[in-house]
Amino acid sequence: MKIAVLKEQEAGERRVAATPDTVRKFVGLGASVAVEAGAGAGASVSDADFEAAGASVGARQDVLADADAVLCVQGPDLGSLEGMKKGALLIGALNPFGRRERIDVYAAAGMQAMAMEFMPRITRAQTMDILSSQANLSGYKAVLDAAAEYGRAFPMMMTAAGTISAAKVFVMGVGVAGLQAIATARRLGGQVSATDVRSATKEQIMSLGAKPIFVEAVAGIEGEGAGGYATEMSDDYKAAQAELVSAHIAKQDIVITTALIPGRPAPRLISDAQIATMKPGSVIVDLAVEQGGNVEGAQAGEVVERHGVRIVGHKNVPSRLAADTSALYARNILNFLTAFWDAEAKAPVFPDDDEIVLGVRLTRDGKVVHERLLG
Ligand code: NAD
C-alpha cells in the first residue's frame, strides 16, 4: 500500500494530513508513504522530518503515481490529481455539501472519496472525529483572537494604581468549540456565561464554572437531540432567545459565537441593533462566519467595526494553529485507517455494512453512493 500526502493548495490552508509521528506508524504497519515536498511547511514540519520518519519526499506527480490512498486536508481539484490510480482512496475534509461538484468529479474519475467530516458521532469513532479535534482548538483560538482585539485585560487585577475589572465573556453555542472557549476564557480570568438550545449543555456549562443563560419560557431541545446536534428552532423560541440575548449582551465585553446546524446555514443570533447596545471596545468573534454567520455584519476573513464593536470573522480558524490541528487531524486519519487495517494485506479493508464506512464513503465504482448526497 502506497500512501500519498499532498501539499495543500487552498489559499490560507497551513495544515497537513500527516505528521512524522503518523508516517512512522504507517511505515510500521507495512505501508510506504510519499509526501509532497513542502507539505508540512505551514505546520512547522520540514521535508527532512518526514524523511527521517521513513517517508519519501518528492514532486506531486511522483507522490501520486501508483498511490493507493491519498491523504489531504481540503479536497484537491481534479486537475491537480493527474496520474492518480483508478480506485484509489481519497481521504480528507472534502466538504461534500459546500463543494458538491467536486464529489461528482471524484466519482467520475473512479476515486473512492471518503469525507472525514461525515464521521458518525459514535463512541467507536471518537478518535477519528475531525470535527471535534479541529473545533476544540478553534474554540481556544477564538478566545485568544478576542483577547488580542480587546483593548483591556481579561482577569481582574488589583494594582497600586487601582483595580481593573474582569472581562465579561458570553459564549453562544456550547458544542465542542464552545466548551473549549468557556474553559479558555475562564483560564484567562474572564467572568463567563454561556447559552445553547440543547438543555444537556446547562450542566456542562456549570461544571466549567460558567453561568448558564437559557430561554426558559419556550422549550429548547431536551437531552442530546438527534446525534447530539441542534435543529432549526421554532419562531417562538427564536423570539424568546432574541429577547434574552438583548437583555444580556449589553453588559458583555466579549462574545464568542459557535452555533451551527448540520446541513443548514448558521442560525442568526445577534442583530445589528443588539450590537449597538454593547459598549465601545467590545469584541465579538463569529466562529460560524463561513457557514453564513451567527452575527449580523460579520465578514468572512475580516475584522470589521460596527458601533465601536469589533467583529472578528477569521476564515479557517483551525489553520491558525496549524501545528497542533495538523497533529490531531493526522491522528484522526491514522486511527481511521488502522481501525480497518488488515495485517496480511498490509492495507485497510472496508466492510460495506460498517457504520463508519457507510458514514464517510462518498463515491465508489464511478458513482456517488452517499445517501446524504443523493437526497
Ligand atoms: P455544532 O458545531 O454542530 O454546533 C455548535 C453548538 O451550537 C451546538 O452545541 C448546538 O446545540 C448549538 N446551537 C445550534 N443552534 C443554536 C442556537 N440557535 N442558539 C444557541 N446554540 C445553538 O456542535 P458540535 O460541537 O459538533 O457538537 C454537537 C454535539 O455532538 C454535542 O452534543 C457534542 O457533545 C456531541 N459530540 C459527540 C461526539 C461523540 O460521541 N463521538 C463527538 C463530538 C461531539
Average pLDDT over residues 186-201: 96
Please write the tens of the pLDDT for every residue from 15-35: 999 999 999 999 999 999 999
**Quick one: how far is CA 148 from the chain centroid?**
21
Q: Has residue 41 got a pLDDT over 80? A: yes
Q: Has residue 295 got a pLDDT over 70? A: yes
By CB atoms closer than 10 A (0-12, 13-18, 19+), residue 174 is buried
SS3 per residue for the chain: CEEEECCCCCCCCCCCCCCHHHHHHHHHCCCEEEEECCCCHHHCCCHHHHHHCCCEEECHHHHHCCCCEEEEEECCCHHHHCCCCCCCEEEEECCCCCCHHHHHHHHHCCCEEEEHHHCCCCHHHHHHCHHHHHHHHHHHHHHHHHHHHCCCCCCCEEECCEEECCCEEEEECCCHHHHHHHHHHHHCCCEEEEECCECCHHHHHHHCCCEECCCCCCCCECCCCHHHCCCCCCHHHHHHHHHHHHHHHCCCCEEEECCCCCCCCCCCCECHHHHCCCCCCCEEEECCHHHCCCECCCCCCEEEEECCEEEEECCCHHHHHHHHHHHHHHHHHHHHHHHCEECCCCEECCCCCCHHHHHHECEECCEECCHHHHC
Active site residue 129: yes
Q: Ligand 1: distance of its center to the CA of 308 in Å?
A: 31
Protein residue with least CA distance to atom 23, ligand 1 = 175
* Res. 78 pLDDT band, cuts 50 70 90: confident
Q: Ligand 1: distance of its center to the CA of 324 in Å?
A: 22
- pLDDT value of position 224: 60
Q: Has residue 375 got a pLDDT over 90? A: no
Q: Has residue 152 got a pLDDT over 90? A: yes
Candidate from 118, 138, 176 with most ligand 1 atoms within 8 A of CB, to mutate: 176
Does 25 or 82 have the greater pLDDT score?
A: 25
Protein residue with least CA distance to atom 32, ligand 1 = 228
- pLDDT value of position 313: 98
Question: In this structure, what C-alpha cell is assigned to residue 220?
Answer: 429548547
Active site residue 121: yes
Per annotation, catalytic residue among 21, 104, 229, 268: 229
What does pTM read for this prediction? 0.95
- pLDDT value of position 223: 58
Q: Does the CB atom of residue 175 touch ligand 1 within 6 A?
A: yes
Stretch among 193-202, 213-222, 249-258, 291-300 having the lowest mean pLDDT = 213-222
Active site residue 198: no
Q: Does the CB atom of residue 128 touch ligand 1 within 6 A?
A: no
Please provide the average confidence, as pLDDT, over all residues in the chain.
95
